[in-house]
Amino acid sequence: MLIDSISRLMLKGAIVLFAICATVPVHGAEEWETDALLLYNTASPDINDLRARSTGDERLRKYAMALGMLHRQPAQEENAMLAKSVFDKLFAINPNDDVGMASGYYLARILHRHLDQPDLGSARAAYQYLFETYPRRFFGELAFLKYLLLEFYGNDSSESPVNRLARLEGMGDRLIIPNMRRGYHRSIGEAYLSYDLSETKAYEHLKAAYDIATSVPETQLELILKVSELAESHGDLGVAIAALQKFLKVARRDERRPEVELRLADLKRQLLN
């Protein structure tokens, strides 16, 4: 079964979790994130770069080969299963080095996104295992964000959305990688809006996501506009104005600029009155 490798390790999860928590310092997260980003790639040039880096490193070579198979176009389940067999072996040999953790993540990802009939229940369990086993690590925190999405939108349980959000809301407090913290707050905020539960709670989380700096603000345009809208509805005109100004600074060619400029001028008039 696809989840066999992770399931076997879940039997000794408490021992593994203790060992990682005891040996991975918080200040190592930024160094790990840089290394992990070399392994978290889907584009052919990035995979080719991994292959080039793998000279003399058999685990990295096999990992790059599996990643290439997984993302081969056109997408086919047969390729995903071939990649899965390699990730299984890499993860079983050593689940705690860089390649092992990355392989564990892609085993869960295959269940989630690369099968003709996705196994969302097993994917959710695999993501949960990864973020509980690898706290403060790139692929553990990334798995947490995927787990959140499946809990919000891929869970058929009878648990009400409000109870589900209450259960999940505090789980992201332990995230330390800025991009992951931003993703957590954004996911929670958008869930409050999607389920029409609380615009105030949505604003709190989306504003928290907005406040986390990013080196690529162009990827946050929808978040910027949503924060501006919610800030205005909550009477935080200063925040709304600053968000729109940020949008105009970042989105030089966006077709929404004229509309945003009108909104900005109106908010400035309201602030003066």
Read off the pLDDT of each residue in 47-75 and give the average, rounded to a whole number: 86
Q: What is the Cα–Cα distance from 108 to 121, expressed in whole angstroms?
A: 10
**Which of 3-7, 140-144, 200-204 is predicted with the least confidence, judged by mean pLDDT?**
3-7
Q: What is the pLDDT of residues 100-116, one digit of tens each?
A: 999 999 999 999 999 99
pLDDT, residue 112, reads 96
Q: What is the pLDDT of residues 229-255, one digit of tens each?
A: 999 999 999 999 999 999 999 999 999
**CB hemisphere CA count around 207 (13 angstroms):** 17
Q: Give percent of the chain above pLDDT 70.
A: 83
Instruction: From 2, 9, 33, select the one nearest 133 (Cα to Cα).
Output: 9
**Which of 1-5, 172-176, 256-260 is predicted with the least confidence, judged by mean pLDDT?**
1-5
Which band of pLDDT confidence, cut at 50, 70 and 90, is reported for residue 3?
Answer: low
Which band of pLDDT confidence, cut at 50, 70 and 90, is reported for residue 27?
Answer: very low
Which band of pLDDT confidence, cut at 50, 70 and 90, is reported for residue 54?
Answer: confident
Over the chain, what is the mean pLDDT? Answer: 85
pLDDT, residue 36, reads 57
Q: Sign of the C-alpha dihedral, residues 6, 7, 8, 9?
A: positive
pLDDT, residue 37, reads 55
Which band of pLDDT confidence, cut at 50, 70 and 90, is reported for residue 153?
Answer: confident
Q: Is pLDDT larger for residue 198 or for residue 5? A: 198
Q: Is the pTM of this model over 0.85?
A: no
CB atoms within 10 A of CB 166: 11
The highest-confidence range among 17-21, 26-30, 49-53, 106-110, by mean pLDDT, is 106-110
Distances (CA, A) of 273 to 31, 234, 245, 266, 269: 49, 17, 20, 11, 6
pLDDT at 34 over 70: no
Read off the pLDDT of each residue in 36-42 and give the average, rounded to a whole number: 62
Could you tell me how many residues make up the chain? 273
Read off the pLDDT of each residue in 183-198 and give the average, rounded to a whole number: 94
Which band of pLDDT confidence, cut at 50, 70 and 90, is reported for residue 141?
Answer: very high
